[in-house]
Structure 1
Amino acid sequence: MSSYGLAARVVLEEKGVPYERIAVDPAELDSPRHLAEVHPFGKVPALYHQGFHIYETAAIARYVDEAFDGPALQPDDVKAHATMQKWINITGQYIYPAVIGDLVMQRLAPKIGAFDGVMNEEVVAGSVPVISHQLDLIGQALGDGADFLAGDFSLADIFVATMMQYIALTPENDELLGSRPTIAEWLQRVTSRPSYKAAAYDFGF
């Protein structure tokens, strides 16, 4: 259920690129084979294309957008492009640790076996104001009726939405997203796209 894997697949779907998804057992992430052949830091996803191997989701996304035909997912305008890059960086540096690491993984720990199946309530509680601040920044970016984070639909929306949509799996959803209709509507615009529906996981719970 890698959020970054989901982002990479949404990009592939947006571009209309056929691909084969190869599932990775989390227990194998630190195996010598995975470190040597897939990702040297024990992560996912990675992409193989005509003998070319690339890892790190932002690099994969840019490669797919530039190497294949289909709708452009990066703005031409230099300011819009910088804004897109800002949101991609914010996703990795701030949103992922708070939303995925401190909220979602903790809340799902008993179901998926993370943290020995034990949720840390203090970590969860501490994540809420941090995520609230992040959502407020997204709300500011969507002010004045903007549909997307960097002008037209772009990698910025894909990266941020594929993290924030996991909040719906937690009891904090009403507090964090239910009280922010502008962000909830933006998230719905992104996650209702055919590309997202084709790439999304079936969590089974």
Structure 2
Amino acid sequence: MSEIEIIGAPQSTFVRTLRMAMEEKGVSYKLTPARPHTPEVDAIHPFGKVPVMRHGDFTLCESKAIASYIDKAFPGPHLFPDDARLCGQIEQWISLINTAIQPSIIPYLRGYFFSQQPDGKPDHQMIEAALPNVQANIALLDRAVAKTGHLAGNGFTYADMLALPILDYLKVCPESRDAIGMAKYLSTYFAIQAQRPSFINTTPPPFSELRR
């Protein structure tokens, strides 16, 4: 069987989530760095978003669809277990993160990593406007991991793989880093999960390389 090819910018949290999933399952893959809306991405995703996947003559877009395919096509630990309740919890967090948490955090991160200020310094107006949402979501995640140390069930799942890359960027920015530091359960959660080989092995290059 041919090797999986993941196409997308390694700085993308969704690309990193998929790479973590491949690492957790022990599946060999090739990462082809590509920005959104480049020809190789547009050929697979109708809206030019990353990541996209190629596996022989089969292609897929959208990270959840790709993860589901990988889970069924390859052996290894299940990303989406058969247990109905646990699977439901994982899907719940996928939806919450993709539709609510990440979209409300992106403006904050953009204020730091993609500032449009003439001097290139952080856009503090954008940052301050988004900060209440960031703090609320950090508090939400802190409550979520308080009971078991994971987002869903008692073990590491795809829900955690989706959250950790976002938290990693938040740990770089001062206000969100402080908020995570004061979140008793979330700070412990991140410190533990950040030691996983799948997280360490997928550390992305800096955003400055993406802007070249």
* Residue in 2 that maps onto 1:30: 37
Partner of residue 102 from structure 1, selected from 107, 110, 116:
107
Residue 42 of structure 1, CA deviation: 1.4
The C-alpha deviation readout for 1:60-102, integer Å capped at 9, x for no partner, is 1121122111111223321221111111111111222222x21
Contact persistence 1:87–1:156 (CA under 8 A): yes
| TM-score normalised by length of structure 1 | 0.86
Give 1:68's aligned amino acid: F
Letter in 1 for 2:32: I
Q: Name the one with the larger helix percent.
A: 1
- Where do residues 1-205 of structure 1 align in structure 2 (5 Å cutoff)? 1-24=11-34, 26=35, 29-31=36-38, 34-35=41-42, 37-99=43-105, 101-110=106-115, 117=120, 119-144=122-147, 146-151=148-153, 152-203=155-206
Q: Which runs of 5+ in 2 are unaligned?
A: 1-10
Bigger relative contact order, structure 1 or 2, given CA contacts below 8 A and separation 6+? 1
Structure 1 SS opposite 2:149: coil
CA–CA distance in structure 2, aligned partners of residues 161 and 118 of structure 1: 26
SS at match of 2:94: helix
The code of the aligned residue for 1:10 comes to M
The count of corresponding residues between Structure 1 and Structure 2 is: 196
> Percent identity, aligned pairs only?
27
CA root-mean-square deviation: 2.1
TM-score between the two structures when normalised by the length of structure 2 = 0.83
Q: Unaligned regions of 5+ residues in structure 1, if any?
A: none
Q: Which digits, 9 at most, give the CA deviation of each residue in 1:2-21, with x for residues without a partner?
A: 11111111011111111111
